[in-house]
Structure 1
Amino acid sequence: MIDPQRSTPENLVARVRAVLPSLTPSAQLIARLILDDPATVARSTITELSAASATSEATIVRTARVLGFSGYAQLRLALAAAAAHQGPDRLVPGDLAPDDPLSDVIAKVTRAEREAIEDTAAQLSPERLGEVVDAITAARRVDVYGVAASGLVAADMAQKLLRIGLSAHAFTDAHLALTSAVLLKAGDVAVGVSCTGETPDVLEPMRLAGKAGATTVAITNNPRSSLAEVSDHVLISAGRETAFRPGALASRISQLLVVDYVFVGVAQRTSEVSNQALRTTRDAVDQFLTDPRTRTRRP
């Protein structure tokens, strides 16, 4: 649920997008209108929105409450503030079309990536991030689970933490992830990466990791997902799905941004050790690249 005390013009639409998959079908109709044109919804009476969404006025009120508002009037005010702060062009990015020239592709993809980054930053609580950073800093071991596009993010997180001296491992195979999860202990950290928060290959290892006593962290677009429910800490990423960029791909940049937040936070907390580890690992790679024996090609 959206906390109205934390809702701002910068994060309102992003938060509505995040909870969209978990809403009822009728509530999704209303939420999609908000995402498609929040400025118009802000100008609409409840009767006008009822007609536009083909839902009842009672459904609109219930949807507003699910989103964290006392009623439709409060939601309208928040949407009006968002429209005034960001402008309609920011709130309704253009979708990609099959016949778009490459100049438009560059502009639209750049815009979508920028907005995903901005929306992720707007939603992320420094307090919540700090709790995750504390847990990872003190961890004996950090295991990260993800598949497909989220698997790439899991690998990125593991290699970053490994570079600063932490014992970190990424698992993109469900069987290996399950093996990892049951061997974790109190003081270890398990991180699950999933755009929808409903990926079975990530969900089950996270459940088992929690049962084993590990601290669990979710990186997901959906704060009402099953992954969020089984995790001790939830970090929300953002990404707008388009015709040529399904949800998992659209979220990749924002998930990587969340990983960078965590990595930098941990590196700050362990600056002496992490700086030494970075120098040592960089020197090892540099020596490998400059050693003439490593450049000798076999026939």
Structure 2
Amino acid sequence: MEVSVRLKIKSLYNGLSTKEQNIADYILENPISVAHNSISYLSDELNVADSTLFQFAKKLGYSGFKEFKMAILIEENNFSTTSIHEKIEIDDNELTMAQKVFDSNIKTLTNTKKILGLDDLKKAAEIISNSNLLYFFGVGGSGILAEDAYHKFLRSPAHVRHSTDYHIQLMEASLLTPQDCAICISHTGKSKETIRIAEIVKEAGAKVIVITSHASSPLAKIGDVVFISISEEIEFHSEALSSRISQLSILDSLYVILMFMNKEKSKEALSKVRRTIWDVKH
């Protein structure tokens, strides 16, 4: 299946130069304008040379800017049709509503899977594996994901920490060392609380792994490794709800990779946890 322009841009975003990121931001925010205007008009809008836009299109795998514009136009037309089709109608029955929610979540997972990068997964797993302490940070809905990840990674060889209290999170962040790392989760990547935590973590010299749905967000710019979750939304279906499916899958993937990187220690940790839980349940 052909990867969309949006997904291509998001998958490459963190490796782009500042000028290229500005172009990417403009395209993501103004796809219709890009599709319907000349390269000269757009270069004036962005204050870049025509050749810069041409090279940007080539970097995404297109033969030139004309083919790039056509891809955006087709994508936007398909997106409009899909949105109308998937929108939950007032006369939909309960089963139809549920099926549309499932379809949306499936699409979210499929799109996020497309932009996962091997290098990012390897780097993140190595950072976690080599860290003395692994902290999970998030507030609001993202805090629930952080807690779920903490619960999961307790079964791994990693030494994990998590708190639901924001003030304690701030204090924990300030105590990190260059031998530690933090996973910061925020759907928008604009949460002032999470951004501040990430800044404190960086100031302490620790590594930051970011999970967000917005590649151009302030939080994403702080991360040593950034994973982008793609949201596919329908009416009355919150973005945070849709994105959490893909974010959970990213965290599950890191957990599984870490466990396989440290098989013997993983077996030992998992065995201890299982014995303890068994004693309580039986």
- Judge same fold: TM > 0.5, yes or no: yes
Map 1:51-66; keep pairs closer than 5 Å: 58-59=41-42, 65=53
Q: Shift in Å at residue 106 of structure 1?
A: 1.8
Which stretch of the first structure deviates more once superposed, 131-140 or 271-280? 271-280
Q: CA RMSD in A?
A: 3.5
CA distance in 2, matches of 1:16, 1:141: 33
CA distance in structure 1 between the aligned counterparts of 2:99 and 2:234, rounded to whole angstroms:
14
Map residues 1-299 of structure 1 onto 2, 5 A cutoff: 9-14=2-7, 30-31=30-31, 33=32, 49-50=36-37, 58-59=41-42, 65=53, 68-69=56-57, 72-76=65-69, 78-79=71-72, 88=78, 92-93=82-83, 94-290=86-282
Unmatched 5+ stretches in structure 2: 14-21, 47-51, 59-63
SS in 2 for 1:92: helix
- Among the aligned pairs, what percent are the same residue? 23
TM-aligned CA deviation for residue 98 of structure 1: 4.1
Q: Which amino acid aligns with 1:176?
A: I
Q: Would you say the 8 A contact 2:25–2:216 is kept in 1?
A: no
**Distance in 1, Cα, partners of 2:45 & 2:262:** 47
Displacement of 1:241 after TM fit?
3.0
Q: Could you tell me how far 1:272 is from its partner in structure 2?
A: 0.9
Q: Give, in whole Å, the separation in 2 of the partners of 1:66 and 1:121.
A: 28
Normalised to the residue count of structure 1, the TM-score between the two structures is: 0.75
Aligned-partner SS, 1:256: helix
Count of residue pairs brought into register by the alignment: 261
Q: Aligned to 2:30, what secondary structure does the other structure show?
A: helix
Of residues 67-76 and 203-212 in structure 1, the stretch that sits farther from structure 2 once superposed is 67-76
- Give the Cα separation in 2 of the matches to 1:231 and 1:57: 34
Per-residue CA shift, 1:40-93, capped at 9, x if unaligned?
Answer: x9xxxx5xx35xxxx99724996894994256413145458979xxx9599825
- 2:30 corresponds to which letter in structure 1? I
Partner Cα distance (1:66, 1:105) in 2: 43
| TM-score, with structure 2 as normaliser | 0.79
Deviation at 1:25, TM superposition (A): 10
Question: Residue 145 of structure 1: CA displacement?
Answer: 0.8
1:112-153: CA deviation from partner (whole Å, max 9, x where unpaired): 111111111101101111100000011110111111221111
Q: Over residues 255-288 of structure 1, what are the superposed CA-to-partner deviations in whole Å (9 max), with x where a residue is unaligned?
A: 0010011101100101111122112211211110
Query: Contact 1:218–1:235 at 8 Å: present in 2 too?
Result: yes
SS at match of 1:163: coil
CA spacing shift, 1:285–1:147, aligned 2, 3 Å: same
Partners of 2:10 and 2:115 within 8 A in 1: no
